[in-house]
Amino acid sequence: MIKSIEWTEQGSVRLLDQTRLPGEQIYVECRDFVSMAEAIGAMRIRGAPALGVAGAAAMALGAQAIQAGDFEAFYAELATLGERLANVRPTAKNLTWGIEQIKRSALKWKELPLQALKEALVREAKAILEQDIQTNQAIGEHGKALITNGSRILTHCNTGSLATAGYGTALGVIRAAFAEMKRLHVLVDETRPVLQGARLTAWELQQEGIPFTLIADTMAGHFMKQGEVDLVLVGADRIARNGDVANKIGTYTLAVLAKEHGIPFYVAAPRSTIDLSMTNGEAIPLEERCPEEVLQIGGKPIAPEGTKAKNPAFDVTPSRYVSAIITEGGIAYPPYERSFCDLLRS
């Protein structure tokens, strides 16, 4: 299984640089908070669950450098690092979740001498990484029941091993169904502007030997109308209490198209993506990235110089378009507010 992120024996964090894929497999080594924050901002590591794992790792690395006389001073600095990091990629709930896990652990072990506390935070960040893989495998186990033999699945962005600590969410469901010898075919949206579908999902599916075809985002409606899509399966960056889903830009379009064509629209995500503090999707912060991502492909300009561009990285799909949400605790069906309560209790 591809490792998007791992701890080294020297106590640094090694990331597979996703900006260089599929052309080059280059690893970057992060030894401190600043280099982790840079890697997250530049999308060397990306995808909501991976951001949770990377966020926790960044905080644990950051903690090592804090020189404080007592716990209160230490915790205040840790909290400041957390605020800085959360703003780097504000949409994915998992990033704040990872940050909060480390802050909570610090509070839990506040009586420890500072050096022992710092070591405990690294152990916690490592445990979060390991846990993420198990969570994804559980999502896959639950979700594979929704995939029948011969299914033609449309997916968007990258939700595989690269977007997590391993295995994947929506791609994990596909992986689990494929492992059960189910025949399936994946239609992969290229996912402009950053091309996570073309560059990353195609790369992962190819390595796994799972049959797929790449399409331009604008072709999705055509293939649905032709009867060539049985279900849509995507991931999520933040899910509000009512089941509204923030995910990669273009997801909303797919959901509306799927409803028009009577095609089920499924979302796969860990429970750490669900944000019960948000009543609906309107309050979800949507990251706006730099216009160059739209104005260029692979560093080459595709529009006349001086062209203005907008680049919202995510959109929100209202819950009425979402047929089910697959989590590690089971599958939630509408009304989501109620099913989430059961899921989060279990």
Q: Is 318 exposed, middle or buried (0-12, 13-18, 19+ CB in 10 A)?
A: middle
Give catalytic status of residue 275 as yes or no: no
Using the 8-state DSSP alphabet, how is residue 312 labeled? B
Cis peptide before 318 (omega within 30 of 0): no
Piece in contact with ligand MRU (CB under 6 A), picked from 41-49, 63-71, 204-212, 216-224: 41-49
Contact between 169 and ligand MRU by CB under 6 A: the answer reads yes
CB of 234 vs ligand MRU, minimal distance in Å: 6
Selected binder of ligand MRU within 248, 278, 294, 332 (CB under 6 A): 248
Query: Alpha helices, DSSP H only, in 30-113?
Result: 33-41, 48-64, 71-86, 93-108
CA angle 313, 318, 323 (to 5 degrees): 110
Report the length, in residues, of the chain.
346
CB of 57 vs ligand MRU, minimal distance in Å: 16
Residue recorded with tokens 């009543």: 279
CA distance 70 to 58: 21
Contact between 88 and ligand MRU by CB under 6 A: the answer reads no
Contact between 220 and ligand MRU by CB under 6 A: the answer reads no
Residue recorded with tokens 């969410």: 169
Burial pattern 191-212, b for ≥16 Cβ within 10 A else e, equals bbbbbbbbbbbbbbbeebebeb
Residues 191-210 that bind ligand MRU (CB under 6 A): 196
Piece in contact with ligand MRU (CB under 6 A), picked from 77-85, 100-108, 230-238, 302-310: 230-238
Selected binder of ligand MRU within 44, 46, 103, 271 (CB under 6 A): 46
Residues 253-312 that bind ligand MRU (CB under 6 A): none
Question: Which among 55, 139, 138, 126 is positioned nearest to 97, based on CA atoms?
Answer: 55
Tokens for 10, please give them. Answer: 């020297």
* Element housing 132 (H / E): helix 114-143
Piece in contact with ligand MRU (CB under 6 A), picked from 45-53, 71-79, 180-188, 218-226: 45-53
Contact between 329 and ligand MRU by CB under 6 A: the answer reads no
Q: How many residues bind ligand MRU (CB under 6 A)?
A: 18
Piece in contact with ligand MRU (CB under 6 A), picked from 71-79, 97-105, 161-169, 256-264: 161-169
Contact between 4 and ligand MRU by CB under 6 A: the answer reads no
Selected binder of ligand MRU within 235, 243, 250, 329 (CB under 6 A): 235
Active-site residue numbers? 237
Chain positions contacting ligand MRU, by CB under 6 A: 46-49, 92, 157, 159, 163-164, 169, 196, 234-237, 247-248, 313
